[in-house]
Chain A
Amino acid sequence: MTEFLPVLAVFIPLLGGVLQFLMGPRAVPVWPMVVSGATTVCALALVGSVTNQGDIQHMLGGWEAPLGIPLRVDGLAAVMLLLNNVVGGLVSLYALGAHGRSGAVNSHFWALWLLLWGSLNALFVSGDLFNLYVALELVSLSAIPLVLVAGPRKTVAAALNYLHFALFGSLVYLAGVGLTYAVAGSLDLTLIAGPLAEGGPAGHMAAACLIVGVLIKAAIVPFHIWLPAAHGNAPAAVSAVLSALVVKSCMYLLLRLWTEPLAGITVDAAAQLLGIIGAAAIGYGSVQAFRQERLKLVVAYSTVAQLGYMLLFFPMAVATAWEGAVYHGVAHGVAKAALFLAAGNVLLYVGHDRLRELRGLDRPLALSVFAFALAGVSIMGLPPSGGFIAKWLLLSAALETGQWWWALVLIVGGFLAAAYIFRVLRYAFLNAPGPTIEIEGPVPPRLMSWTALLLGVLSIVLGFTTAPILGLLGGLPGAAP
């Protein structure tokens, strides 16, 4: 039974989304909630069985590699599945409040969201290079229409820009897949490391294409230009998923590719370059976040910055850095979802999210502001929170490898994050004359406030659950235990 779980984790939401499309508005919200629940349960069962019994592999169609496509769930995939489905489940609950009423657009929202959820699961369990390309496309092409749910008029430009980059990035990745196949004759992630390493220029070209393609899709500086508009204008639930999970899935892929198929071919210069790009992303994203005048744009630029931390793994490449990078991914995912959901509640209540006019917000929206603050703690990397543990691990790794300059990047990055998070909180607590909230909208339903808060609390709780999560993750692939 356990070997069927990966398939179910992918196809319960995928089929659920397809059937939602078939049934239309009448099925909202019962059917999507049933599917969300089933998906979460199934995925958590999968994670549980990986925890207990180790890696799971399922050869699709019964064909052995390299002919068939393997589904594999190892520690890294299990951790990402855990993140994806916990955040996904909570976002579904939030969306029940935001998109729970019947209606054509809401029906499409649920269909797309379930499809996206399944696509992300598909990405995490895939063990095949080309299948990962298809999964990447699935993720992008369900994510982009989701942006439009906020109303096409204000999102169409952002969606178009997003599509350009997503499409281009995946074609670059596909070029890498093609070259890899030429050199290795296989697409199975476990079979291509050796041939790629001996592949000469073609091997290097393949590796470069794979990495650059994923970087484009992950919105890493300088390929980030599509991200703020898309993440900043989408509906709150979608922004949360995009920032917490979608770009994260690309970072996951980068970690996976780098440590497994490309392990023999990566050169130190490339690793250092990735680290420098990461540092640039941290600096640029944070400064931009500080300069934004709209709450959701602050959060969106914060994503640009936070993704940079995961790139710091590559130059250090020791077990501590590995754990730090993955843990950062998890912590950021949870915290960023909380931030966007809280921002969504603000938007619902105030009708806009212009920072300067959000004075005294903590009185009507105490729960959401509190959720924002809790998640902010993790984003700043302050204890006790998941973000702090990740920062601690990365700091340790920087000293362990003698590359102390990354430690400086981490410390400065923390300050910059504090600057933009406290700037938002300052306005929320401000009780001084100035532009204030004019039209008070509906108070967000409890469900929406509490899911945001729950995610905020989770991002703090992650500061104490390191041992089980890192135990599930396992050590750096290929390193001596």
Chain B
Amino acid sequence: MSIMPEPFALAAAALIAVGFYGFITQQHPLRRLLAINIFGNGVFMTLILVAYWLPGDADPVPHAMVLTGIVIAVSATAFGLALIRRRILDANRKQDHGDD
């Protein structure tokens, strides 16, 4: 690899760093989910760079990994959002209606 700075590699590192910082410092569960997703985007960017560095056509294996990773991250995040909504609903409903 060249010593020339690669802008997207720096961006990936920045996403990872910022995501990590957010994960530690954010208290709101939604904000924390956002931070985790930013961290994940940094990881995906890394994988895409790895694919890009293959001479010739882009490497399909990391691409497949990223696609899988995105779907997993999104479904987990969607589930997390459902959790957050439920939590808020419960906090609001002081008079509960039972659980099940």
Contacts and interface: CB of A to CB of B under 8 A. Distances in A.
Nearest to B93: A153
B73 interface: yes
B86 to A, nearest CB: 5
B53 A182 contact: yes
B76 A175 contact: no
B43 A178 contact: yes
Nearest to B33: A164
A164 B29 contact: yes
B36 A175 contact: no
B76 A167 contact: yes
A152 B90 contact: yes
Given A134-B68, A163-B80, A175-B43, 18 more contacts: A145-B79, A153-B99, A156-B83, A156-B87, A160-B80, A160-B84, A164-B33, A164-B36, A167-B36, A167-B76, A168-B36, A171-B40, A174-B65, A178-B47, A181-B50, A182-B50, A182-B53, A187-B61
Given A141-B79, A171-B43, A160 B87 contact: yes
Given A174-B69, A175-B46, A182-B53, A167 B80 contact: yes
A130 B65 contact: yes
A163 B80 CA distance: 7
A347 B33 CA distance: 33
Interface residues of A, number: 30
B25 interface: no
- Which are the 3 A-B pairs with shortest beta-carbon distances? A151-B99, A178-B47, A182-B50
Contacts, number: 87
Q: How large is the interface on B (under 10, 10 to 19, 20 to 34, 35 or more residues)?
A: 20 to 34
Given A156-B90, A163-B83, A182-B53, A141 B43 contact: no
B87 A163 contact: no
A68 to B, nearest CB: 11
A156 B29 CA distance: 12
Interface in B69-90: 69, 72-73, 75-77, 79-80, 83-84, 86-87, 90
A130 B50 CA distance: 15
Contact of A178 (B39, B65, B86): B65
Contacts of B23: 164, 168
A339 interface: no
Interface string A463-481: 0000000000000000000
Interface string A146-158: 0000011110110
A144 interface: yes
B97 to A, nearest CB: 10
Contact of B79 (A144, A151, A153, A175): A144
Contacts of B39: 168, 171
B37 to A, nearest CB: 9
A86 interface: no
A175 B75 CA distance: 19
A133 B36 CA distance: 16
B72 A178 contact: no
Contacts of A157: 87
A159 B86 CA distance: 11
Interface in A240-269: none
A187 B64 CA distance: 13
A152 B42 CA distance: 32
Given A151-B100, A163-B76, A177 B36 contact: no
B77 to A, nearest CB: 8
A323 interface: no
27 contacts: A133-B69, A137-B72, A137-B76, A144-B79, A152-B90, A153-B90, A156-B83, A160-B29, A160-B80, A160-B84, A163-B76, A163-B79, A166-B76, A167-B76, A168-B23, A171-B73, A174-B47, A174-B69, A175-B42, A178-B43, A178-B46, A178-B47, A178-B62, A178-B65, A179-B50, A181-B65, A182-B50
A105 interface: yes
Nearest to A151: B99
Contacts of A160: 29, 80, 83-84, 87
Interface string A433-476: 00000000000000000000000000000000000000000000
Nearest to A162: B83
A144 B52 CA distance: 35
Interface string A128-139: 001001100100
A105 B47 CA distance: 39
Contacts of A163: 76, 79-80, 83
Contacts of B36: 164, 167-168, 171
